[in-house]
Every structure is written in C-alpha cells, then in structure tokens.
Amino acid sequence: MRQIVLDTETTGLDPAQGHRIIEIGAVEIVDRRCTGNNFHVYLNPERPCDPEAVRVHGLTDDFLADKPLFAEQVEAFLAYLGDAELIIHNAPFDLGFLKAELQRLGRPALQNPVFDSLTEARRRFPGQKNDLNTLCRRFFVDNSQRSLHGALLDCELLAEVYLAMTGGQVDIGLQENSPTSVAEQRSAPRPTLRPQGKLRVITASAEEEAAHAAYLAEMGNALWPQ
C-alpha cells in the first residue's frame, strides 16, 4: 500500500484572497515504512508573503524570488502523488490551496483518497490539543528541530505520528538494522527473565528467629505473632 504524507506552506491563510503555495513537502510510505523517496520544492508565489506567515515558516520574499513557479513543478508533483492515499494534518487547508493552484492552470482538483490526521486525533483525543507538536509529545516523536514550520520536516514528523497513532510501527529507517524510535522501544514487549539453575533458598537461623521474637515482644503491640 502506497501513502503520501503531504504538507504545504503558504503566503497566508486564504486562497480565496489570492494567497499561494510557497513550499510543498511529501514523504512516501509503502507498507507502513518510509522509503526515503520524498518530494520537496520551494515555489515563487508571484506575490508577497504576509508578515504573520513569515513568522511561522521563515520563508521571505527574497528567498523565494528565484524559485520555480507552481506551473513548472505541477507535472512532477502530480506524477509523484499518483493515486496514493494522502495523509494530511488539517487536510481542508492544504487541499484548498492545491485546488486553487490547479484551477489556475485549468486542472481538476486532486481525487486521491485522504486521511486527515487532525480529524483522527480529535476522534481519539476529544477535548485535547491535537496540533502536530502536541501529537509529537504524545507519541514520543522527537520534534526538537522544529523551531519553524517547514513542509518536509513537518511531513517527516507527521509520518512518525501517523504510524504510531494507527498501529505503533514508527521505524522510519531504510535498512533492516536501522535504530528504532523511542515510541517503538516503549511499545516493544519486555523479555521475561528466567533464573538459571536452582534457586538458593536462605532461611533464618535459630538465633535469628529468637532475636526477632524478642524484638517483637519489646514492641508490645505487634500483629505478626497473631
């Protein structure tokens, strides 16, 4: 089964107001393992970023000025997605921006099946915070490098969160001997320790039993002799 964890960064909050996508990140999962076949691109939005958005993702107009247009990357992006299921945190936001970008090019909206991890988190943890940082802490995913939002980094974190939330398998290594994550280590069954050989039984000597009886007598109100 092929799945794609998808995230975007944008110039603002509303595509209806002309805001555009400036970064796309995607992480491929096949049979519940991240393959390393990722997709990542920065885009020139042909408009300024809102200051509030820059404070979130740190992508300035100067940085984006020489980046390709969405129209120049759309074929590679759609070919990468194929018909895979999309895993998105707060899917209506990203899908709304992608729909607007595709409409500008006269293309239909994406038809891929979608798993919204925010909807699933709210179902599992009603009344609690379910943003990505909170889910990382809840599932023991290391997000210490996430000082700003970034599409590819957020996809990598969400991939671990998704695998932990839906089944406990969070090994994102590309080799069989890759290290497991903290979450997998916590969920792994503990080995049963069995004694080797015969157990040595140590009993109290007569002198020790007598000393113990004398001690209880001195206490006066001990319940053990009863």
pLDDT digits (tens, 9 = 90+) for 119-139: 999 999 999 999 999 999 999
Please tell me the predicted confidence (pLDDT) of residue 222: 60
Q: Is 84 contained in some domain?
A: yes
In-domain check, residue 194: no
Indicate the average pLDDT of the chain.
86
The pLDDT-based confidence of 223 (bands split at 50, 70, 90) is low
- pLDDT of res. 183: 47
Residue 211 lies in a domain: no
Mapping DSSP to helix (H, G, I), strand (E, B) and coil, where does residue 96 land? helix
Residue 14 reports pLDDT greater than 90? yes
pLDDT tier, 181 (very low <50, low <70, confident <90, very high otherwise): very low
Does the pLDDT of residue 180 top 70, yes or no? no
Domain membership of residue 226 (yes or no) is no
121 within domain boundaries: yes
Phi and psi of 207, rounded to 5°? -65, -40
Nearest partner of 118 among 108, 110, 109, 128, judged by Cα: 128
Residue 197 belongs to a domain? no
pLDDT in tens, 60-109: 999 999 999 999 999 999 999 999 999 999 999 999 999 999 999 999 99
- Within 13 A of 144's CA, how many CA atoms are on the CB side? 2
149 is catalytic: yes
CATH of residue 182: 3.30.420.10
Choice among 11-20, 41-50, 112-121, 183-192 with the minimum mean pLDDT? 183-192
Predicted local confidence at residue 200, as pLDDT? 63
Is 195 inside a domain boundary?
Answer: no
Q: Which of 19, 40, 89, 149 is catalytic?
A: 149
Domain span including residue 59: 2-187
Domain total in the chain: 1
Taking the whole predicted model, whether its pTM rises above 0.75 is answered as no
Higher pLDDT, 198 or 160: 160
86 neighbors 96 (Cβ within 8 angstroms): no
